A = this chain, B = another copy of it.
Amino acid sequence: MQSDSPIVGAIEAGGTKFVCAVGSGPGELMRAREQFATGSDPHLLLAEVVGWFRAQESRFGPMAALGIASFGPVDLDERSASYGRITTTPKQGWRDTDVVGPLRRAFPGLPIGFDTDVNGAALGEGRWGAARGLDDFIYITVGTGIGGGGIARGRLLHGLVHPEMGHIPMPVLDGDRFEGACAIHGRCWEGLCAGPAIARRAGRPAEDLLPDDPVWDVTARYMAHALATLTYVLSPRRIILGGSVRKAGRLGQDAFLARTRAHLLQVLSGYIASPVLTPDGVAGFVVPPALGDDAGVCGAMALAHDALASRRGTA
């Protein structure tokens, strides 16, 4: 990305906070950044966000486009009447909330890109981070919940709605009697590996677990089964693992990822022949985000750049 790329606006719309930025890319290309508590009044929050972007435009000049990477479920179908909305979320105040509409009205004519938070993060990592040059990869976030997005043959995964990878059914490890923590599915991936699941299994928050607590290993083993599923279904060239859980508190990210990778090779049992699915190669297959906690807001910037290119007919 050249430093003379246009200045765009970016919103990472999360369930806890909205991270907003203006700039042309990550790091020093990001000119300004602010965050706002999501709260339960979308009308109020979006007005605040609009005000912040107007203030940035008076400092840096007009934005060339805006990108929004949002928590969901969202409607991504541009032919749909509810395009640009957060739809069936249980989050108080946010059900059936039009996110794109108020921004379109505030900035008439501005190209606006809109996608899920995890698809946004995938796009950001593909543009500037851990998936540069790859046409097929997945971005997973494992934190309070689990979500996944990705790119297949160079295009973001959409479809009927959009992927909801956190809710895949899971096997039972020998002797494991934990009933899972997902309110809807019990023992789905999110019900076994998200932060609240780890806390419920261990009886205390993940960050309080000692490095040798067996809960870390059982979590890594379930992670491996889920990553094997994604590998079999989508055949990604790389899986980027974001979110807070992979930082693994006192155990640490490196140790947690190393265990997850070793278990993944065991689950795959050599079935898929590839140099990256070997003890020497797998550290390049399951990786942390290169943009760190900025993957989401950078992804929103990438969505903005793509919306601009699409408007210009160069995408």
Contact = CB atoms under 8 A, between A and B. Distances in A.
A269 interface: yes
Interface string A166-194: 11111110000000000011010000000
Interface in A80-114: 87-88
B184 A271 contact: yes
A234 interface: yes
A48 interface: no
Given A163-B232, A171-B172, A271-B164, A155 B157 contact: no
A169 B167 contact: no
A136 B172 CA distance: 31
Contact of A274 (B161, B233, B270): B161
Contacts of A148: 233
A1 interface: no
A171 B156 contact: no
A165 interface: yes
A219 to B, nearest CB: 16
Contact of A234 (B88, B157, B171, B271): B157
A235 B163 contact: yes
A302 to B, nearest CB: 17
A187 B229 CA distance: 13
Interface in A135-167: 136, 148, 152-167
A127 interface: no
A229 B230 CA distance: 9
A232 B168 contact: yes
A267 B274 CA distance: 33
Interface string A256-296: 00000000000101111110110000000000000000000
A247 interface: no
A230 B165 CA distance: 9
Contacts of A31: none
Interface string A187-212: 10000000000000000000000000
A170 B172 CA distance: 8
A152 B159 CA distance: 7
Nearest to A136: B159
A97 B169 CA distance: 37
A154 B171 CA distance: 32
A270 B164 CA distance: 13
- By CB atoms of chain B within 10 A, which of A148, A270, A272 has the most? A272
Given A153-B156, A158-B235, A234-B234, 15 more contacts: A73-B272, A136-B158, A136-B159, A152-B155, A154-B155, A159-B237, A160-B231, A160-B236, A160-B274, A161-B235, A167-B232, A169-B170, A171-B187, A185-B271, A233-B233
Those 7 A-B pairs whose CB atoms lie nearest each other, nearest first: A159-B235, A136-B159, A153-B155, A152-B152, A169-B171, A88-B273, A169-B225
15 contacts: A73-B272, A136-B158, A152-B153, A152-B155, A154-B155, A159-B236, A160-B231, A161-B235, A163-B233, A167-B232, A167-B271, A169-B225, A169-B229, A170-B171, A185-B271
